[in-house]
Amino acid sequence: MAREAFIEKPFSEPHQEVIRQANAIIAEYQRQGFTLTLRQLYYQFVSRDLIANKQTEYKRLGSIVNAGRLAGLIDWSAIEDRTRNVRKPNVWDSPSQIIDAVAEQYQEDIWQGQHYRPEVWIEKDALVGVIEPICERYRVPYFACRGYSSQSEQYAAGLRFRRIFRAGLTPIVLHLGDHDPSGIDMTRDNADRLSMFAGREVEVRRLALNWEQIEEHDPPPNPAKETDSRSGGYIEQFGDSSWELDALDPPTIEGLIEAELDELIDREAWDARVSQEETAKGVLADVSHNWDEVVTFLRGEGEGA
């Protein structure tokens, strides 16, 4: 737990209760290996009937959580901002250290020999941290569309999928978005534009948020945006409520992606690639562990040349 106090602040009993509830939810998800955004924490409060699903309550929760962190009552590492990050270069103490790191990180194209080439596309950049671990584990590209993705990104994906088709493979996009007028339409838009730029039909499977998941998980609803030009058909089909993907808890989102990827995998070819990769990692680890001998050998070869 990374709790550090920067201010002294008295909290009312209702605010202390909110902080206790927040810490309980945070601990629950930390045990599962997940870090929440403030938005996800808010939806956990709503889904547990701790607060109402209103913008004023979201702002109130954010204010209390912010003060709680500054006062050292909430773990600083428990809430993350997935849209703003500092990038820094890698540095090393020695050549053997980088080779050791390479040995740990070495990964082959584990989808080589498979029929499908999947990618995971998600509507919101703030949810990339939820899908990143499962996508990294399965070695699939993932992309935050940020609503309707740009024409440039769609064109680049179309070119990428052309190459996949030419290789005799099948690209497939697994799409996750809000269940609202635009969120539903984004799946169609992705399929239409990708197929246009790829020159062939590209399958876009909508993994979430779907009606059956709403019925199963009962996430808190929001009013449908009647100002959205697509709201008429949406309201006629689904009523005047909409639901955000953020309202699904991270393990559920991860499970949806994992189940879909497992169905696409030829397990025999997959296991063979994993075995080949482990052998290569072993060679790199041997080089790292015997770096002094490697240097002596190379210098000896150089002097004799």
Fold of 115-265: Dna Topoisomerase Vi A Subunit; Chain: A, domain 2 (3.40.1360)
Mean pLDDT of 14-24: 96
pLDDT reading at 303 higher than 60 = no
pLDDT reading at 32 higher than 90 = no
pLDDT score at 88: 75
Token digits of residue 136: 């990294």
Mean pLDDT of 296-301: 81
pLDDT score at 85: 63
pLDDT score at 224: 78
Q: What is the pLDDT of residues 202-223, one digit of tens each?
A: 999 999 999 999 999 999 998 8
Interatomic CA distance for residues 84 and 87, integer angstroms:
10
Residue type, 183: G
Residue type, 169: L
pLDDT score at 93: 81
Residue type, 86: V
pLDDT-based confidence at residue 84 (cuts at 50, 70, 90):
low
For 20-24, 146-150, 221-225, which range has the lowest pLDDT when averaged over its residues?
Answer: 221-225
Mean pLDDT of 257-284: 94
Q: Are 147 and 123 in contact (CB under 8 A)?
A: yes
Token digits of residue 157: 């994906």
Q: What is the pLDDT of residues 104-146, one digit of tens each?
A: 888 889 999 999 999 999 999 888 889 999 999 999 999 999 9
Q: Among all chains, which residue has been given the structure tokens 């996508």?
A: 135
pLDDT-based confidence at residue 42 (cuts at 50, 70, 90):
very high
Mean pLDDT over all residues of the chain? 91
Q: State percent of the chain over pLDDT 90.
A: 66
pLDDT reading at 296 higher than 80 = yes
For β-strands 222-223 and 241-242, DSSP reports them as antiparallel
pTM of the model: 0.78
pLDDT score at 9: 94
pLDDT score at 223: 85
pLDDT reading at 226 higher than 90 = no
pLDDT reading at 97 higher than 90 = no
32 burial type by CB count under 10 A (0-12 exposed, 13-18 middle, 19+ buried): exposed
pLDDT score at 215: 95
Q: What is the pLDDT of residues 169-190, one digit of tens each?
A: 999 999 999 999 999 999 999 9
Q: What is the DSSP letter of 167?
A: T
